[in-house]
């Protein structure tokens, strides 16, 4: 990443990389490194290590450290933004992970505490604590369908006002009233200070149209160039082109998420020869042949368009 205010850098396309596995079940570092280089070469602005798409819960501590080290090195080589997933549903554990984050990291992606379902006030205090202890700016990962905790606009704006919070991965399951009000408030009251990145791939184009600042896109593992083109079209006010690209990518995203993520994405990457196997770790099972074939056909159509 270039040397400037990191709070101003949370824009553009950031790709949460899959963690490829070899035939013997070990982490396939050769495929991971190749995918990381290719994704940045295709137009991504940054990479995310150990996002949900990377299956971090199924990795050992040593494997997680190896993935972080590899992805951090590739980002440094390209001058790209490097983000690390470091959140859990325990405040002390999250703070400890952040204190030990890789020194090359530019941002930490920290999920809203899941399963325990704290109050909204408790969520704010969680982020107040972890952001204060983090050596890098924090991205709030708001994904209520996974966490079981829906946050109001008032709570999201309270989080945006915390020192050390750079922005949001907004994955509320669609474009909701909350999406509209959050973007309107941030772009009106604190333009440039806090970012909102689209986190639901079928709705990236819609969030950008409402004033979103970029995307954290799992589907960009297979179509980084096309997602980068979508962001560029909105940024450069080529509206009709942006609508066309966004519509095509929304359909592709639905196909890639037809079965639990990242199973179809890995299936497509393996079918294309970009990773060695489509393997995932339990409790996930590999995607069905039909889902992979359908998604791969859409990938070819979108890339050829």
Q: Mark the binding-site residues, compressed into ranges.
A: 53, 216
Q: Is 169 a catalytic residue?
A: yes
Residues making up the annotated binding site for pyruvate are 53, 216
**Cα separation of 130 and 91, whole Å?**
7
Catalytic one of 115, 127, 169, 266: 169
Q: How far apart are CA 263 and CA 257, in angstroms?
A: 8
User: And the tokens for 34?
Assistant: 């190749």
Could you tell me the two tokens for 21? Answer: 């596995």
How far lies 17's CA from each of 47, 174, 189, 209, 268, in Å? 7, 22, 33, 25, 14
State which H helix or E strand residue 165 sits in: strand 165-170
What are the helix and strand counts (H, E) for the chain? Answer: 12, 8
Active site residue 127: no
Separation between Cα atoms, residue 145 and residue 54, nearest integer Å? 18
- Cα–Cα nearest to 124, from 142, 137, 107: 142
Within 10 angstroms of residue 185's Cβ, the number of other Cβ atoms is: 16
Among 114, 115, 141, 266, which one carries the catalytic annotation? 141
Residues annotated catalytic, as ranges: 141, 169
């Amino acid at each position: 990443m270039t040397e400037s205010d990191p709070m101003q850098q949370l824009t553009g396309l950031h790709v949460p990389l899959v963690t490829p596995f070899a035939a013997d079940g070990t982490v396939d570092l050769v495929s991971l490194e190749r995918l990381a280089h290719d994704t940045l070469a295709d137009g991504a602005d940054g990479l995310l290590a150990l996002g949900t798409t990377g299956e971090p819960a199924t990795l050992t501590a040593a494997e997680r450290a190896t993935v972080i080290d590899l992805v951090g090195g590739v980002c440094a080589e390209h001058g790209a933004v490097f983000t690390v997933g470091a959140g859990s549903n325990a405040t002390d554990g999250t703070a400890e992970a952040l204190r030990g984050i890789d020194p090359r990291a530019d941002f930490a992606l920290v999920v809203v505490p899941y399963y325990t379902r704290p109050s909204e006030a408790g969520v704010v205090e969680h982020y107040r604590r972890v952001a204060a202890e983090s050596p890098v700016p924090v991205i709030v990962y708001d994904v209520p369908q996974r966490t079981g905790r829906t946050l109001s606009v008032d709570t999201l704006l309270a989080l945006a006002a915390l020192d050390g919070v750079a922005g949001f991965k907004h994955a509320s399951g669609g474009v909701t009233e909350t999406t509209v009000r959050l973007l309107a408030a941030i772009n009106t009251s604190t333009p440039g200070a806090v970012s909102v990145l689209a986190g639901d791939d079928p709705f990236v184009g819609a969030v950008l149209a409402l004033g979103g600042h970029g995307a954290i896109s799992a589907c960009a593992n297979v179509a980084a160039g096309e997602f980068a083109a979508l962001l560029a079209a909105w940024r450069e006010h080529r509206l009709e082109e942006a609508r066309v690209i966004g519509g095509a990518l929304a359909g592709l995203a639905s196909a890639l998420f037809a079965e639990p993520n990242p199973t179809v994405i890995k299936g497509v990457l393996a079918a294309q020869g970009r990773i060695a196997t489509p393997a995932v770790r339990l409790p996930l099972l590999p995607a069905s042949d039909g889902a992979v074939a359908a998604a791969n056909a859409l990938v070819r159509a979108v890339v050829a368009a």
